[in-house]
């Protein structure tokens, strides 16, 4: 399931991130790529051990965790390996699949948080059996998608593409089960808003809770 998550960042958080990143030191992005991805990765990343890096990562993680849609879709057990990436003119990231393990954590869901729009090109392209889908979201918006997909970033033709990327290990390992739980939760919330606490609402809530209890990892 691919989900666009709007307004992840508050305006003051976005200002803080972009201000800090404008002064940060960026290095070759290949240093965090797998051996096969190094061949197609052409971007810059903020140094992970920079003094301000941990604080910036915490801002992103906190914003994602408090967003109800992201939480409902991803059900994050751990949000990890957050990177701040910069693509200048001519830079791109060719087709690749994200590493299954990053340190001790599994990558179930990948996300890209857009921190600027002053660029051309640079679309995130996610590949499917029936074709490709292209994404370029607004400032402060994010997209979450299965880490198991092939995806790429098209070459930037003008300006600078600035994003935060990261991964989540979900409480629900199976993406189809995550989607089923999301659908049930959406349905019961809609029913409650329309009719209040009914017998039908209670039954859906019971099924949702018991499936979550059965599937949580």
Query: Rounded to whole angstroms, how far apart are CA atoms 166 and 63?
Result: 13
* The 76-87 sheet, strands edge to edge: 3-5, 142-146, 109-114, 161-170, 76-87, 44-46, 26-28
96 labeled part of a ligand binding site: yes
Which of 177, 208, 175, 173 minimizes the C-alpha distance to 190? 208
Give the single-character DSSP code of 155: P
Tokens 């859906």 belong to: 204
CB 135 within 8 A of CB 117: no
Tokens 């019971």 belong to: 206
Q: Concatenated DSSP letters for 85-135?
A: EEE-TT-EEEEE---SEETTEE--EEEEEE----EEE--EEEEETTEEEEE
Q: Which two tokens stand for residue 175?
A: 């993406």
Query: Rounded to whole angstroms, how far apart are CA atoms 152 and 146?
Result: 13
185 labeled part of a ligand binding site: no
Residues belonging to the binding site for 2-oxoglutarate are: 161
Question: Which segments are annotated as binding site?
Answer: 96, 98, 151, 161
Residue set of the binding site for Fe cation: 96, 98, 151
């Amino acid at each position: 399931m691919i989900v666009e998550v709007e307004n992840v960042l508050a305006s003051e958080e976005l200002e803080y991130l972009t201000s800090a990143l404008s002064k940060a030191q960026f290095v070759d992005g290949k240093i965090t790529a797998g051996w096969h991805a190094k061949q197609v990765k052409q971007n810059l990343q903020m140094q992970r051990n920079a003094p301000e890096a941990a604080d910036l990562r915490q801002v992103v993680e906190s914003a994602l965790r408090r967003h109800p849609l992201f939480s409902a879709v991803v059900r994050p057990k751990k949000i990890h390996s957050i990177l701040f990436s910069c693509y200048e003119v001519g830079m791109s990231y060719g087709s690749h699949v994200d590493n299954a393990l990053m340190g001790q954590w599994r990558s179930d869901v990948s996300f890209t948080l857009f921190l600027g729009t002053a660029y051309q090109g640079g679309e995130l392209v996610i590949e499917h059996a029936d074709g490709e889908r292209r994404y370029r979201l607004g400032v402060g918006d994010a997209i979450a998608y299965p880490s198991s997909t092939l995806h790429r970033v098209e070459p930037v033709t003008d300006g600078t593409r600035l994003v935060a990327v990261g991964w989540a290990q979900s409480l629900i390992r199976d993406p189809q089960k995550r989607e089923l739980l999301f659908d049930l939760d959406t349905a019961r919330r809609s029913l409650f808003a329309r009719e209040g606490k009914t017998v039908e609402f209670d039954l859906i809530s019971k099924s949702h809770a018991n499936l979550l209890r059965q599937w949580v990892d």
